[in-house]
Amino acid sequence: MAAARHPPSTAPAGKARPPRPGPGRPKDPGKRQAVFAAAKRLFLLHGYDGVSMEAIAAEAGVSKLTVYSHFRDKEALFGATIRAKCEEMLPPTLFQAAGKGPLQRQLTGIARAFFALVTSPEAIAMHRLMSAQGSGDGRLPQMFWEAGPQRLQQGFAQYLQARVDAGQLAIGDVARAASQFFCLLKGETHARLSCGCAVTLDHRQIDAHVRATVAMFLRAYAPVDDSRRRKP
Amino acid sequence: MAAARHPPSTAPAGKARPPRPGPGRPKDPGKRQAVFAAAKRLFLLHGYDGVSMEAIAAEAGVSKLTVYSHFRDKEALFGATIRAKCEEMLPPTLFQAAGKGPLQRQLTGIARAFFALVTSPEAIAMHRLMSAQGSGDGRLPQMFWEAGPQRLQQGFAQYLQARVDAGQLAIGDVARAASQFFCLLKGETHARLSCGCAVTLDHRQIDAHVRATVAMFLRAYAPVDDSRRRKP
DNA sequence: GTCTATATAGCGATAGAC
DNA sequence: GTCTATCGCTATATAGAC
């Protein structure tokens, strides 16, 4: 609503930029990256309409024309920003180290990490940014989804398939089960955060949510053989 | 930012009600409602920044000043629009007629209705609109959440509690179970739609999703007595 | 190649005429 | 009470100087 006022924030540590021209003359120095970093931060903070090219230039410490020299227009800069964010936000592999210990502990560890990831301010800002960009072109949201959530989900589906093959889980549709697990885990918290509702969870509440999610998943997909053997 | 000084949303019964609806000399004819309807449609379509007051006036068939005579400014009109949408979008009672038949059928019927509701273009537009409005004041998202999703969820929690009391379900935390059911049901489809990804589901896929959700829920929360009696 | 200054346009909100 | 015309402001994008 109100114009985004962001005075030069106090971040002197990250500005290791002495007047060293170096390879500056012939082409583009690191200014392009400065513009890029500024665009990432500001777009995630205030949305597409909430930030002006002048603000990006000021944040990057360059002039407006420099921004326009590196990126054709505002939309191009935005698209490049989103693509870069998609690639840098995804952790290398979340399910690699999770091959030992009891199954419940493995799932709990994965769930904890995933919940922390999707409820992080950065992820929420990203999600809201995609939601905000109305059905403009429609290619950017698809790209975001495939690079972010879908990739995570496929990785988890592979992990689940391995547990199924090992006889630790009884799942008919592994992809659906992975989707269910993630949707349960994001849960109400993610939905509220996406809408802009302030929600604060302490560690106890997060733990209860994670444990309830894993418990429901295991109750639904644990092999039935155990219960049969214990009954008679 | 501040709340509307005069709550004009719903027609007050005791307020000035001109019995002569002629060419509206004394006060406002139905033009206010025309502005309101135009605002609802355009805001849901293009978002807050995407629609101008002039566009709303043109859509309503009135002039800009008429809009300003009925609503103090753009934010007031937006807030009133959101509040009205919240009230009109919620169905009267979704779980009233669901008291007969097998439990699985009841849950399936509820799930089908709820899924159709939350994946409707109107609901998705509403969701995206709330997501788009950055952490401006933060009171509007909360109001939306309480009037929309939370109310639905509480109604479903009451329904679940009745089934628990009847011995048809074994649920420790009913509110959590309701939240889980809804999150499972919204599922990947709602998440993708919220991000702007185009996703098309035919009736077979919707049916499969609904049945999988109900099945998982029942596997997790069905009383164990039934399985004992039916298994051997 | 980069910065200062500017053109152009659109939006929100208002002053006066019918 | 409602419409036409307008002010003030901001943002995108560009033209010329170092």
Mean pLDDT by 10 residues, chain A (232 residues): 36 38 53 94 94 96 95 94 85 66 94 94 92 75 90 93 95 98 98 92 98 97 66 42
* Per-residue pLDDT, B89: 78
B116 pLDDT exceeds 70? yes
Residues B84, B9 contacting (CB under 8 angstroms)? yes
Q: For the whole model, what pTM was predicted?
A: 0.84
* Per-residue pLDDT, B174: 98
Question: Is B225 within 8 Å of chain A by CB?
Answer: no
Amino acid at A164: V
B155 pLDDT exceeds 70? yes
Rounded Cα–Cα distance for residues A31 and A44 (Å):
20
Identify the three-state secondary structure at position B153. Answer: helix
Question: Is A137 within 8 Å of chain B by CB?
Answer: no
B25 pLDDT exceeds 50? no
Rounded Cα–Cα distance for residues B105 and B110 (Å):
9
Structure tokens at A168: 């630790």
| Strand C bases with any atom < 7 A from protein Cβ | 1-5, 10-16
Report domain extents, chain B.
31-86, 90-230
Identify the three-state secondary structure at position A208. Answer: helix
B207 pLDDT exceeds 50? yes
A128 touches strand D (CB under 7 A): no
CB nearest to B184's CB, from A135, A184, A231: A184
* Per-residue pLDDT, B30: 83
Q: Do A131 and B194 touch (CB under 8 A)?
A: yes
CB nearest to B216's CB, from A131, A142, A220: A220
B230 pLDDT exceeds 60? no
A168 touches strand D (CB under 7 A): no
Mutation for B interface: A137, A180, A231, most B CBs within 10 A: A180
A225 touches strand C (CB under 7 A): no
Amino acid at A49: D
**Percentages (nearest 5) of helix, strand, coil residues in chain B:** 65, 0, 35
Identify the three-state secondary structure at position A7. Answer: coil
| Strand D bases with any atom < 7 A from protein Cβ | 1-5, 10-16
Nearest to B111 by CA among B159, B73, B169: B159
Question: Which residues of chain A make contact with B121, given a CB cutoff of 8 A?
Answer: none
* Per-residue pLDDT, B137: 66
**Percentages (nearest 5) of helix, strand, coil residues in chain A:** 65, 0, 35
The CB-based long-range contact list for B1-9 (8 Å cut-off, 24+ gap) reads B1/A1, B1/B75, B1/B136, B1/B137, B3/B79, B3/B139, B4/B72, B4/B76, B4/B79, B4/B80, B5/B72, B8/B32, B8/B70, B8/B80, B9/B80, B9/B83, B9/B84, B9/B87
* Per-residue pLDDT, A181: 98
* B62 vs B226: which has the higher pLDDT: B62
What angle is formed at CA A50 by the lines to CA A13 and CA A199, rounded to 5 degrees?
A: 80
Residues B180, B217 contacting (CB under 8 angstroms)? yes
Question: Is B8 within 8 Å of chain A by CB?
Answer: no
A104 touches strand C (CB under 7 A): no
B5 pLDDT exceeds 90? no
B68 touches strand C (CB under 7 A): yes
* Per-residue pLDDT, A114: 93
* Per-residue pLDDT, B186: 98
Residue A184 CB neighbours (<10 A): 23
* Per-residue pLDDT, B100: 79
Residues A47, A132 contacting (CB under 8 angstroms)? yes
B48 touches strand C (CB under 7 A): no
Mutation for B interface: A185, A195, A216, A228, most B CBs within 10 A: A195
Question: Is A76 within 8 Å of chain B by CB?
Answer: no
Q: Give the CATH H-level superfamily of domain B90-230.
A: Tetracycline Repressor, domain 2 (1.10.357.10)
B225 pLDDT exceeds 90? no
Mutation for A interface: B48, B131, B200, most A CBs within 10 A: B131
- Closest nt by CA–C1' to B64: D3
Rounded Cα–Cα distance for residues B1 and B139 (Å):
9
B13 pLDDT exceeds 60? no
Rounded Cα–Cα distance for residues B26 and B22 (Å):
9
Residues A171, A160 contacting (CB under 8 angstroms)? yes
Domain B31-86 has CATH 1.10.10.60: yes
* Per-residue pLDDT, B24: 43
Rounded Cα–Cα distance for residues B225 and A173 (Å):
27
Q: Give the CATH H-level superfamily of domain A29-87.
A: Homeodomain-like (1.10.10.60)
* Per-residue pLDDT, A133: 79
* Per-residue pLDDT, B2: 34
**Across residues B134-157, what is the average pLDDT?**
85
